[in-house]
Chain A
Amino acid sequence: MAEFLQFLFSGLTVGAVYALVALGFTLIHNASGVVNFAQGEFVMLGGMITVFAAQAGLPLAVAAGVAIGVTALVGVALYRLAIAPAGSASVVSIIIITMGASLFLRGTAQSVFDKQIHRFPAFSGETPITIGGATLMPQSLWVLGGAAVVFVALHRFLAHTLPGKAVLATASNKLAAQLVGINTHAVLLLAFGLSAAIGAVAGVLITPLTMTTADMGVSVALKGFAAAMLGGMGIPVGAIVGGLGLGLIEAFTAGYLSSAYKEATAFLVILVVLVLMPRGLFGPKDVERV
């Protein structure tokens, strides 16, 4: 039982990070139809900027705020400088641009910061909480709580506010969005900025547990992408369930089988789900579109 709880806790914690990354994918995909493979770099920037801002003498909370703000600006710049100029290029070309941007951001971070492994202290101390024989780091609660807050806020924004619907409208039909008076450029800037900020939040929350390096973005992006696909690309609930599901599968496989199999198992499950439900667990069932 203690063992089971232990795997559950670690699975949920990692899963919450995947979920946040998947939410970032979801937001940009919702506004633009693009899958932004630079999403993982936002997570990296969140952690790395916090590390270096704190080293420069800022209190940790301020450093984290700076990191999230700067990363949001990087997201906006990514759209302004790399995506918008591509104009009406195909979605595939734009996805490739985001991959290039990912390489660029990683290289820049390696030279601006360094290639070392970093961490900063957990927010509420490092004393583990014992539950049913398993230990839970207080930081894990921060990660889970952070993911919950971001999810609820994003869901409310998209489903219950007119600006949120303007984001969905821009994704659904950009021409029609312009014709009702939506400034689609502004919507896309907002989506990239918010999405980058969400990634940075994930980076800030997870660094005390997993540490960070300038090259951690790629694997995070892949996991977040897998989580988003598992849940259904573009669907906030899907991002959460997909992220937590992926984290749990990995944790239980690593715990009960071997950590050598955890990624293979996770991708096997995703493969099976996508064969059975091509648009993910929460994806629309009707494939037909008029």
Chain B
Amino acid sequence: MLETRALRSAYGRIEVLHGIDLVVREGETVALVGANGAGKTTLMRALAGVQPVCGGEAWFRGRALARVPAWRRVGLGLAHVPEGRQIFCDLTVEDNLRLGAWATDRTHVAEGLAEAYQMFPVLGEKRRLPAGGLSGGQQQMLALARALMARPVCLLLDEPSMGLAPALIDEIFDVIAGLARRGLTVVLVEQNAAVALSVADRAYVLENGVITLEGAASDLVKDDRVRAAYLGI
């Protein structure tokens, strides 16, 4: 579904991804685990097309991504929920969601809105209010719901639980697990490695811009290095 080979990316002259090989198969949930500054966000942004790539290749559903601008990738079925809830603060909650369906043929907007409000009832209650007035957790829900409006086949999620209360983290991860069960392919970046590994099928460990470990999530949970570095055990 999604694959990279020797992918490199840099900020100016400072390279932060030094050749990433990643394979995400259809229907899988893959977690990316790593310390702060390891390059997880950079990798996700490169996959979404909003971060320049300076070497290597990437494919989505068999199609080379190199020349595909970010705004076209959504239409191909690759949706990215970026770090730090990038919502349209000045627009209403509902307009945020409607714009989520911008890249689709827009025949499913009403259906998508109904699903979004069912998934997160609080968004329905506030649908006519400016999105900038939502709480952090509600904005995170909106960002996720907006990405789903594009009916993606693959979802890139960058720290969906950042800054959320524990109860909300559970709620968001229930939703993510539900999406994965419905067959959506998910790439998940998460500070909280324990949670990430519990929902993922497979995982990659990223350290200083290189992948140092990969395997089934259930094996990585038992790996001593992972336990020491990321699970704090």
- A168, A171, A173, A182: the one contacting B87 at CB < 8 Å is A173
A178 an interface residue at 8 Å Cβ cutoff?
A: yes
- CB-defined interface of B77-104 with A at 8 Å, one 1/0 digit per residue? 0011010001111110001001110110
Q: State which of B67-75, B171-179, B189-197 sits at the interface with chain A.
A: B67-75
A91 an interface residue at 8 Å Cβ cutoff?
A: no
Report Cα–Cα, A6/B191, bound state, in Å. 69
- CB-defined interface of B154-176 with A at 8 Å, one 1/0 digit per residue? 00000000000000000000000
Contact between B91 and A165, CB atoms less than 8 A apart: yes
Q: Would A173 and B74 be within 8 Å (CB), given that A165-B99, A166-B99, A181-B103 are in contact?
A: no
A184 an interface residue at 8 Å Cβ cutoff?
A: yes
Contact between A181 and B75, CB atoms less than 8 A apart: yes
Q: Would A173 and B89 be within 8 Å (CB), given that A180-B99, A181-B102 are in contact?
A: yes
- A169, A184, A289: the one contacting B88 at CB < 8 Å is A169
Closest chain-A Cβ to B21's Cβ sits at a distance in Å of 25
Contact between A179 and B89, CB atoms less than 8 A apart: no
New A-B pairs, 11, CB < 8 Å, besides A178-B70, A179-B70, A180-B150:
A162-B98, A165-B98, A168-B91, A172-B91, A178-B69, A179-B74, A180-B99, A180-B102, A181-B150, A183-B71, A289-B89
Kindly list chain A residues whose C-beta atoms are within 8 Å of the C-beta of B82.
175-176, 179
Kindly list chain B residues whose C-beta atoms are within 8 Å of the C-beta of A173.
86-89
Kindly list chain A residues whose C-beta atoms are within 8 Å of the C-beta of B86.
173, 175-176, 179
Q: Would A169 and B50 be within 8 Å (CB), given that A175-B86, A182-B71, A290-B139 are in contact?
A: no
Q: Would A179 and B88 be within 8 Å (CB), given that A169-B99, A184-B71 are in contact?
A: no
Closest chain-A Cβ to B157's Cβ sits at a distance in Å of 12
Q: Could you list some 15 contacts between A and B, CB below 8 A?
A: A165-B99, A166-B99, A166-B102, A169-B91, A173-B86, A175-B50, A175-B86, A177-B99, A178-B69, A179-B74, A179-B82, A179-B86, A181-B75, A182-B71, A183-B71
Contact between A182 and B79, CB atoms less than 8 A apart: no
Report Cα–Cα, A165/B95, bound state, in Å. 8
Closest chain-B Cβ to A10's Cβ sits at a distance in Å of 36
Contact between B71 and A172, CB atoms less than 8 A apart: no
- List A residues 130-166 near B (Cβ within 8 Å): 162, 165-166
Kindly list chain B residues whose C-beta atoms are within 8 Å of the C-beta of A178.
49-50, 69-71
Kindly list chain B residues whose C-beta atoms are within 8 Å of the C-beta of A183.
69, 71
Report Cα–Cα, A165/B97, bound state, in Å. 11
Contact surface of B with A, Cβ cutoff 8 Å? 48-50, 69-72, 74-75, 79-80, 82, 86-91, 95, 98-100, 102-103, 106, 132, 136, 139, 146-147, 149-150
Number of residues on chain A facing chain B (CB within 8 A): 20
Closest chain-A Cβ to B153's Cβ sits at a distance in Å of 14
Kindly list chain B residues whose C-beta atoms are within 8 Å of the C-beta of A168.
88, 90-91
Kindly list chain A residues whose C-beta atoms are within 8 Å of the C-beta of B74.
179-181
Q: Would A179 and B80 be within 8 Å (CB), given that A168-B88, A173-B87 are in contact?
A: yes
Q: Nearest chain-B residue to A176 (Cβ)? A: B86
Report Cα–Cα, A181/B76, bound state, in Å. 10
Looking at chain A's contact residues, the main secondary structure is helix
Contact between B89 and A172, CB atoms less than 8 A apart: yes
Kindly list chain B residues whose C-beta atoms are within 8 Å of the C-beta of A169.
88, 91, 95, 99
Report Cα–Cα, A8/B179, bound state, in Å. 63
Closest chain-B Cβ to A6's Cβ sits at a distance in Å of 41
Closest chain-B Cβ to A222's Cβ sits at a distance in Å of 27
Q: Nearest chain-B residue to A159 (Cβ)? A: B95
Q: Nearest chain-B residue to A163 (Cβ)? A: B102
Closest chain-B Cβ to A112's Cβ sits at a distance in Å of 36
Kindly list chain B residues whose C-beta atoms are within 8 Å of the C-beta of A171.
90
Kindly list chain A residues whose C-beta atoms are within 8 Å of the C-beta of B90.
168, 171-172
Q: Give the top 5 A-B pairs by smallest Cβ distance, nearest first.
A: A181-B103, A181-B74, A176-B86, A172-B88, A178-B70
Report Cα–Cα, A95/B147, bound state, in Å. 33
Kindly list chain A residues whose C-beta atoms are within 8 Å of the C-beta of B71.
177-178, 181-184
Report Cα–Cα, A31/B82, bound state, in Å. 21
Report Cα–Cα, A176/B91, bound state, in Å. 12
Report Cα–Cα, A150/B154, bound state, in Å. 42
Q: Would A162 and B102 be within 8 Å (CB), given that A180-B150, A181-B75 are in contact?
A: yes
Q: Would A180 and B146 be within 8 Å (CB), given that A165-B99, A290-B139 are in contact?
A: yes
Closest chain-B Cβ to A173's Cβ sits at a distance in Å of 5
Q: Nearest chain-A residue to B74 (Cβ)? A: A181
Kindly list chain A residues whose C-beta atoms are within 8 Å of the C-beta of B91.
165, 168-169, 172
Kindly list chain B residues whose C-beta atoms are within 8 Å of the C-beta of A289.
89, 132
Contact between B103 and A180, CB atoms less than 8 A apart: yes
Report Cα–Cα, A177/B139, bound state, in Å. 16
Contact between A162 and B70, CB atoms less than 8 A apart: no
